Structure 1
Amino acid sequence: MELKVLIAGRYRLNTTIGRGAMGEVWQAYDEMGRRPVAVKLLHAQNSEPTAAARFRLEAQTAGRLSHPHVVGVLDFGEQEGRLFLVMELVEGDSLAHLLTQAGSLPAEEVARIAAQSAAGLAAAHEQGIVHRDIKPGNLLLDADRSVKIGDFGIAQFMNDPGGALTATGQLVGTSLYIAPERALGQAAGPASDVYSLGCVLYQLLTGQPPFRAGSPIAVLHHHLDTAPVPPRELGARLPPAFENYLLGLLAKRPEDRPTARQAAEWFAAGAWRGRPEPLPAAVPHPEPHATPWNPSVGSSWNSAPGSATTYAFPSAVTSTAPSHRTRRRQRTGLRAVVVPRSRAAGTIAAVVVFLAALLVGVALFSPDHSSADTPPTDPPRTTSTTPAPPQP
């Protein structure tokens, strides 16, 4: 086909911006709509038997989506035996190209990419579409660095599991980013896309995918059986909340992962920043059971039998005459069980009165009482119990 001729009478091809096994992508200009576009052309003699069906599927699936974070499909057709797909032109790099230049990205940038990518996936999932090939090369950044999900060529409708367009037992997708359930040959679901996105985010933070090995089969085994190394152990600088959530995206069981919508909202809300980690909680202790003050008892603080008074500060010393430091602590609101000065004076007076009354009672009513019990204070005098005879 002569490339100087318009495709469908309106799309003029300019330069090639990508090539693959199925076809090639051109930067073009829509002379009718007066805007730049991308035109994807299927190879005329494509050897893959499902290539045409997959090409049509991409047009069908992406054409159902209209979302700011999904590459929009504008037109689809055939000219001179070649299928073509007209798409929104994304004037930027893919994340794969960005990784080759930067190696890794800061947490702030990755969180933004996560929020936008998850939002685009959520839109597809809500239309019943599973992408099945989320990887850095299929996440594009436009001139404003906004994420666009592209290449729905192996997407699958959730209500049509048989439409995978692969031979029985054939695994589609990239092994570095494939979910464990798909490694077992199970059907892809929305949670599979979430796992793949988690793998991409992991690589953006650390510079490497979560699992690497010498062969694709060995990588699949890691997805099934190996826990990913926490990114901070590989030098990634990110808040603990971000790391914990990312590891949740990489959960082995699909039901343990958040949905794409939940992930989009979580990252967009800034929850990935987390909060300062709180100090360890103090061990709770039972409060003493105080009883009303009764002077006759002689104590203003009584605990229930067998209970112990608990102090907030183990070094604080409880006394009936608190030190200046203890009284100052009490005024500043720090908990310490001390007896105020006025109450302490009343307590001492009550004790003195009680002891005096006790001594008097013993002296008056004891059956063994005699004057001999009290030591004399004057020199001894001679006394007689017999009356003296009268004087003559």
Structure 2
Amino acid sequence: MPLDEGTTLLRGRYELGTRRSAAGYAEAWTAYDEDGLQYLVRTWAYDGDEPDPVQRALWDAELRTLYKVGSSPGADDTLAVLKDAGLDRDAKSFVMVLQAAGYGSVADALAARTEHGWLSSRDPADRRELWRAAGRVAAGLAVLHSQDVLHRDVGAAALLYLPDEPTESIRLGGFEWSVRLGRPLDADPPVSWSSPPERLAGDTAAWRPDDDWFGFGMLCARLVLNLERYANNAPAERYARVVKAIEAAKTTLTEPERALLLRLIDPDPLERMTRPHDVQLSVRGIVALLAAPPAARADDRPFTLIVNPKQVGLYDYLLERGLREHLGLDDGQPYDPRNVAHTDGLAVFLRRDLDGGSLYAVPK
């Protein structure tokens, strides 16, 4: 039975506000705790007075995994992590509370792309921010895989964002109940943008991490190219059209962008880029390339600058040139190379200082 606005869940700790989506037994809600703080709540109704033993066992296993994922390094910055969960017998529902207050779905934004400047802009600087967001998604996917969790549908519907700061706030969600109730672990998820072509041909092998990276590639293509017109095509035809669109985007995307997208969704599974480190390194290279002036971008060569934020000469030099103010240090307050906030702040300060700079060849 569908829940209603104002229903309280988990012994009154959360009150449902606005229903955000509903599909079958699953619903998503904006909810508020006793202090008025906002959360995203997902519920799954069950039949009868108690869930059956199989459902309950799956639920318990899923919670253990999700709490483990949420405590992994980097999860808070890349994933919509779990805050609370429980079985609400009054509502006859499984309940998950996610730290994703006010977030909308990127799938909805893509469906109305022209209304969102951060998606429709043709400025390379805006596309750079999309790739920067994609890098966080890749990092989040790597976190899931490091905990032996398969997402199984890395698509736009799984991305959450805040309208006021869209690219900066993008987080990967949708992995709650990565093993869906009533669906065997070895069964494929429903066909979607993220389904590799070999699965469309009837391959029933168990879903693999490599398949998640294919979904990531399709997602990135949708972010940087206007592909939503293919949404209603048959899956195999849609895939072929996406590949063709990437190949044809020679004036829209740089060569490294097209090369990465084509590697991620290559028709041959053995030729795809599937190592998390390689994917993240390629994305960082694209971000760096798009930060360069047009003349440098035409060279199509990404560069990586490696710095040691604990090097005395470096941070002393930067402190004299604005790092102190950037970190909010008082006069006489030292930079602490053991303080993560200081070292991370130095990296951000240096990156901002170098953004938009030019690269010059210096003779030996």
- Pair in the same fold by TM > 0.5: yes
Does the Cα contact within 8 Å between 1:182 and 1:192 map onto a contact in 2?
A: no
- 1:130 Cα offset (Å): 1.1
Higher helix share: 2
The 5-angstrom pairing of residues 279-290 of structure 1 reads: none
Matched, 1:175 2:192: yes
- 2:275 equivalent in structure 1: 259
Matched, 1:138 2:158: yes
CA distance in 2 between counterparts of 1:261 and 1:275 reads: 23
71 and 37 in structure 1: CA distance in 2 versus 1, 3 angstrom threshold: same
- 1:153 Cα offset (Å): 4.0
- 1:101 equivalent in structure 2: 112
Query: Which digits, 9 at most, give the CA deviation of each residue in 1:343-388, with x for residues without a partner?
Result: xxxxxxxxxxxxxxxxxxxxxxxxxxxxxxxxxxxxxxxxxxxxxx
- 2:34 equivalent in structure 1: 31
Does the Cα contact within 8 Å between 1:202 and 1:209 map onto a contact in 2?
A: no
The 5-angstrom pairing of residues 231-270 of structure 1 reads: 231=246, 233=248, 237-256=252-271, 257-269=273-285, 270=287
- 1:64 equivalent in structure 2: 68
- 1:252 Cα offset (Å): 2.7
| Aligned-partner residue type, residue 152 of structure 1 | F
| Aligned-partner residue type, residue 140 of structure 1 | L
91 and 54 in structure 1: CA distance in 2 versus 1, 3 angstrom threshold: farther
Unaligned runs of 5+ in 1: 157-162, 279-392
169 and 86 in structure 1: CA distance in 2 versus 1, 3 angstrom threshold: closer
CA distance in 2 between counterparts of 1:28 and 1:170 reads: 32
125 and 45 in structure 1: CA distance in 2 versus 1, 3 angstrom threshold: same
- 1:85 Cα offset (Å): 1.1
| Aligned-partner residue type, residue 179 of structure 1 | P
Structure label with greater radius of gyration: 1
CA distance in 2 between counterparts of 1:61 and 1:166 reads: 18
- 1:120 Cα offset (Å): 0.7
CA distance in 2 between counterparts of 1:84 and 1:155 reads: 15
CA distance in 2 between counterparts of 1:89 and 1:241 reads: 33
| Aligned-partner residue type, residue 128 of structure 1 | D
TM-score (norm 1): 0.58
- 1:179 Cα offset (Å): 1.7
CA distance in 2 between counterparts of 1:5 and 1:154 reads: 22
- 1:276 Cα offset (Å): 3.0
Query: Which digits, 9 at most, give the CA deviation of each residue in 1:315-346, with x for residues without a partner?
Result: xxxxxxxxxxxxxxxxxxxxxxxxxxxxxxxx
SS in structure 1 at match of 2:104 = coil
CA distance in 2 between counterparts of 1:236 and 1:51 reads: 51
SS in structure 2 at match of 1:228 = helix
17 and 53 in structure 1: CA distance in 2 versus 1, 3 angstrom threshold: farther
The 5-angstrom pairing of residues 81-92 of structure 1 reads: 81-92=92-103
227 and 203 in structure 1: CA distance in 2 versus 1, 3 angstrom threshold: closer
Unaligned runs of 5+ in 2: 291-295, 301-364
The 5-angstrom pairing of residues 180-219 of structure 1 reads: 180-183=197-200, 184-208=203-227, 214-215=233-234, 219=235
| Aligned-partner residue type, residue 38 of structure 2 | P
| Aligned-partner residue type, residue 194 of structure 2 | Y
| Aligned-partner residue type, residue 277 of structure 2 | R
- 2:43 equivalent in structure 1: 41
Does the Cα contact within 8 Å between 1:69 and 1:119 map onto a contact in 2?
A: yes
- 1:123 equivalent in structure 2: 143
- 1:8 Cα offset (Å): 2.2
- 1:276 equivalent in structure 2: 298
Does the Cα contact within 8 Å between 1:22 and 1:51 map onto a contact in 2?
A: no
The 5-angstrom pairing of residues 357-368 of structure 1 reads: none
- 2:174 equivalent in structure 1: 151
| RMSD over equivalenced CA pairs, Å | 3.5
